């Protein structure tokens, strides 16, 4: 006879006793306790008490094909039965990693030469940092090592990638950022545009500021610039008009590599294969993760162009090996799942679906613009954000920042809706398979939560 499932109270007690949570207030967790999700189906998940939620964040920006796609489940099961583990060190390979690399290069927004596999967006961006340094050593520019990121950007949590991340919680008391990493302007026009300034003028000012920073640092010392097409965890910040058009000539002028962090935007989130295609970005290095496997298995990838690859090859020849890699780089199970994910995107016309459904998503998002607490709505494709402020006419934030956002996310949860509060910005990033009716369900539930919040203030 099967044992009865453990009660929520017992599971919660065990979680609190044993589990160190990511991005959680560790001091309040014993009182708040965990939300224990035990199953998922399509765009919905269910907790251990039988409550059902529509997942408007696709987990952590990643479960693009929902939580129960049969082809991905079968691909993982078949791969486990065929070859449950092998590595890609010392000239080893496996069939799915070979085909996946080939497909990624065919999908890339600009010509790329090779693909390196890792296990998370953090590892991919950390690899990009190492490749930038290795590349410049290889071409004899040993002083060209500084990497510029943007305030408000998010690139991961390793020592290097948390340094690239331009958010205070990722630095405070971690002794970060490390040397050779700096930050330039946040491109959030609503917050940082000057009175009377157009988006295009703001973009020009940011490009001029970037050039001034490169000159101040010394062009011979600045190696790379990293940017998300749309900033995700920084609040879903859509770039101002002409921003990347004006940034990229500055980078080319001073021979600064461009890293496109496509961890969130990659694989049709913006309606194109990559956010780089949406915004005309031409990276030298591109990182991706999350929707690469629809979040079904940990995997990420780093694509490099021919110039970078040739330098890696020459330097590895001099040294005797390319001294970088992870045990699970190109793992045969995760690459098989990722490969099937790319095939599903194609077979199910996911790009066309996103382009067809995104106008409804943006329309419903913009429907909140006139609410008294909503200062700004922004979005592209199937990713969006709503900014809350105490006085939107005066652009006065709540004090303390973050309390109201967390309260609204909690009220949404009570309505059966999972969103994410990033400070006082609420993020929406539903699975790409979401239907028009489900988009309405998301925003109807959010409307109920926002109304309850308005009634308490």
Do residues 118 and 57 share a domain?
no
Q: Which of 281, 316, 347 is the last residue of a domain?
A: 347
pLDDT at residue number 1: 40
pLDDT at residue number 3: 53
Q: Which of 347, 366, 386 is the last residue of a domain?
A: 347
* CATH number, residue 387: 3.90.1150.10
Do residues 370 and 427 share a domain?
yes
Asked if 275 and 228 count as a contact pair (C-beta separation under 8 A), the reply is yes
Q: Is residue 353 in some structural domain?
A: yes
Do residues 190 and 250 share a domain?
yes
* CATH number, residue 111: 3.40.640.10
Burial class of 421 by CB neighbour count within 10 A (0 to 12, 13 to 18, 19+): buried
Q: Which DSSP category does 238 fall into?
A: P
Structural domains of the chain, count: 2
Do residues 319 and 402 share a domain?
no
Q: What SS3 class is residue 437?
A: helix
pTM of the entire structure? 0.96
Do residues 120 and 266 share a domain?
yes
pLDDT at residue number 5: 61
Do residues 198 and 170 share a domain?
yes
Q: Which of 105, 106, 125, 124 lies closest to 115 in space, CA to CA?
A: 105
Q: How many CA atoms lie within 13 A of 388 on its CB side?
A: 24
- The rounded distance, in Å, linking the Cα atoms of 79 and 332 is 7
Residue 239 belongs to domain spanning: 72-347
- Burial state string for 46-85 with b = 16 or more CB within 10 A and e = fewer than 16: ebbeeeebbbbbbbbbbbbbbbebeebeebbeebeeeeee
Asked if 427 and 58 count as a contact pair (C-beta separation under 8 A), the reply is no
pLDDT at residue number 2: 52
Phi, psi dihedrals of residue 27, rounded to the nearest 5° = -70, -35
Do residues 177 and 308 share a domain?
yes
Q: What is the pLDDT along the chain (457 residues), one digit of tens a residue?
A: 455 567 899 999 999 999 999 999 999 999 999 999 999 999 999 999 999 999 999 999 999 999 999 999 999 999 999 999 999 999 999 999 999 999 999 999 999 999 999 999 999 999 999 999 999 999 999 999 999 999 999 999 999 999 999 999 999 999 999 999 999 999 999 999 999 999 999 999 999 999 999 999 999 999 999 999 999 999 999 999 999 999 999 999 999 999 999 999 999 999 999 999 999 999 999 999 999 999 999 999 999 999 999 999 999 999 999 999 999 999 999 999 999 999 999 999 999 999 999 999 999 999 999 999 999 999 999 999 999 999 999 999 999 999 999 999 999 999 999 999 999 999 999 999 999 999 999 999 999 999 999 999 8
The gap from C-alpha 161 to its chain's centroid, in whole angstroms, comes to: 13
């Amino acid at each position: 006879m099967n044992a009865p499932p453990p009660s929520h109270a017992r599971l919660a007690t065990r979680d609190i006793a044993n589990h160190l949570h990511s991005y959680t207030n560790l001091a309040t967790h014993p009182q708040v306790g965990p939300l224990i999700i035990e199953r998922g189906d399509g765009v919905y998940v269910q907790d251990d008490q039988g409550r059902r939620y529509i997942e408007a964040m696709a987990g952590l920006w990643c479960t693009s094909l929902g939580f129960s796609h049969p082809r991905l489940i079968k691909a993982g099961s078949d791969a486990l039965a065929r070859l449950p583990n092998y590595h890609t060190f010392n000239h080893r390979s496996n069939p799915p990693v070979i085909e996946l690399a080939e497909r990624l290069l065919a999908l890339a927004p600009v010509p790329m030469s090779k693909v390196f596999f890792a296990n998370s967006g953090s590892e991919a961006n950390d690899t990009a940092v190492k490749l930038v340094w290795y590349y410049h050593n290889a071409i004899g520019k040993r002083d060209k090592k500084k990497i510029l990121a943007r305030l408000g950007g998010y690139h991961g949590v390793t020592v290097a990638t948390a340094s690239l991340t331009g958010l205070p919680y990722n630095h405070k008391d971690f002794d970060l950022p490390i040397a050779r990493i700096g930050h330039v302007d946040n491109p959030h026009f609503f917050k940082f545009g000057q009175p009377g300034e157009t988006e295009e003028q703001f973009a020009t000012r940011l490009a001029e500021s970037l050039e001034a920073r490169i000159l101040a640092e010394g062009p011979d010392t600045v190696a790379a610039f990293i940017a998300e097409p749309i900033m995700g965890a920084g609040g879903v910040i859509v770039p101002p008009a002409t921003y990347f058009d004006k940034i990229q000539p500055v980078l080319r002028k001073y021979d600064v590599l461009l890293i496109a962090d496509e961890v969130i935007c990659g694989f049709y989130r913006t309606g194109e294969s990559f956010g780089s295609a949406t915004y005309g970005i031409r990276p030298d290095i591109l990182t991706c993760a999350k929707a690469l496997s629809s979040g079904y298995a940990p995997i990420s990838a780093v694509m490099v162009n021919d110039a970078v690859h040739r330098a890696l090859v020459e330097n590895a020849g001099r040294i005797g090996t390319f001294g970088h890699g992870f045990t699970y780089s190109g793992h045969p199970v995760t690459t098989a799942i990722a490969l099937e994910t790319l095939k599903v995107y194609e077979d199910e016309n996911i790009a066309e679906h996103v382009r067809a459904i995104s106008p409804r998503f943006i329309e419903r998002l913009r429907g909140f613009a006139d609410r008294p607490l909503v200062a700004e709505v922004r979005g592209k494709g199937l990713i969006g954000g709503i900014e809350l402020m105490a006085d939107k006419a005066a652009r006065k934030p709540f004090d303390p920042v973050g309390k109201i956002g967390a309260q609204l996310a909690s009220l949404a949860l009570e309505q059966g809706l999972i969103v994410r509060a990033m400070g006082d910005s609420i993020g929406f990033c539903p699975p790409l398979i979401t239907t028009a009716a489900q988009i309405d369900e998301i925003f109807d539930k959010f409307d109920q939560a926002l109304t309850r919040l308005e009634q308490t203030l």
